[in-house]
Amino acid sequence: MNTSSSRFSISPIGTVSSPYKEKFAIPRQPGLVTAAKGYIELVSDIDSKSMVEGLEGYSHIWVLFMFHQNLAHGWKAKVKPPRLGGNKKVGVLATRSTFRPNGIGMSVLPVEKVESITLKNNQTQTRIYVSGLDLLDGTPVIDIKPYIPYSDSLESAQAGFAEQAPEAKLSVNFSTEAQAMLQAQQQSESQDLAVLIEQVLAQDPRPAYRQNKPDDNTYGMRLYNYNITWQCSSLTQVQVLNINPVTSV
């Protein structure tokens, strides 16, 4: 069989609910922003409750998903990884770039809990709650596999130009206006949002070519239902300018 000419049809088995409402500011790998919490909601027309039986026995899962917002842009044989400063090209299969031939991504995520709810129509709605995610809200999930430590964690593995985890690059402070907005929220929600903002911005989500250079631009990102604006006040520090709730249209 000539598999190179074959075509395969894949249907999503679930959808991601995530604090990241837009691609900008999503961390480049899972686990870098531990405060990012969300869940995978399995589609309602499958036997989702049976599918997750036994999953609670695993601490982590592999999540395979589609880079759905990139598919229309096609793919590139060579790309510029941020870890190389965004100015050196390597083969796409030597990277985690989103511009891939089949647009498939994968993340290993901690499982917080698995919950199944029976709806009024007797269908089951199942959610897998995860943390440290690096996924856009609404991302289609095409498969989930348990993480197996003895086979998936290899001490002798080498990682080319991405051998070490990136260090947090920026310290984060909040303006008087941003602090007032946080204080206006419920205490637990305010603390969770503040930690999430700090962890996201500490990774410096700007394009690689703008990092480590003077930058007076004002940037914006959306986390949960908040629009956050921020600015790099120095090469090592970022200030959160405003935190505004998203108004319903």
**In CATH, what number is assigned to the domain containing residue 223?**
3.30.2310
Residue 70 lies in a domain: yes
Residue 1 has pLDDT above 60, yes or no: no
Which helix (DSSP H) or strand (DSSP E) does residue 152 occupy?
helix 149-152
- Regarding predicted confidence, which is higher, 208 or 75? 75
Last residue of a domain, one of 118, 152, 186: 152
**Structural domain span for residue 200:** 171-245
pLDDT of residue 248: 63
The domain boundary, picked from 152, 181, 214, lies at: 152
Is residue 1, in this structure, part of any structural domain at all? Answer: no
User: Taking 60 as the threshold, does the pLDDT of residue 249 lie above it?
Assistant: no
Indicate if 137 and 198 belong to the same structural domain: no
Q: Is a pLDDT exceeding 80 seen at residue 186?
A: no
pLDDT for the residue numbered 237: 93
45 or 246: which carries more pLDDT confidence?
A: 246
Query: Which CATH number covers residue 138?
Result: 2.40.30.70
- Whether 137 and 45 map to the same domain: the answer is yes
C-beta of residue 139 within 8 angstroms of C-beta of residue 16 = yes
In this model, does residue 56 exceed pLDDT 80? yes
Over range 191-198, report the average pLDDT. 93
Q: Is residue 165 part of a domain?
A: no
Helix (H, G, I), strand (E, B) or coil at 23: coil
Residues contacting residue 139 through CB under 8 Å, at least 6 positions apart: 15, 16, 18, 65, 66, 68
Please tell me whether residues 78 and 137 are part of one structural domain. yes
Record the tokens describing residue 190, joined without a space: 């305010």
Same domain flag for 142 and 235:
no
For residues 241-247, average pLDDT = 91
> Average pLDDT, stretch 91-108?
92
Name the strand (E) or helix (H) holding 66: strand 60-66
Rounded distance between C-alpha atoms, residue 82 and residue 69, angstroms: 19
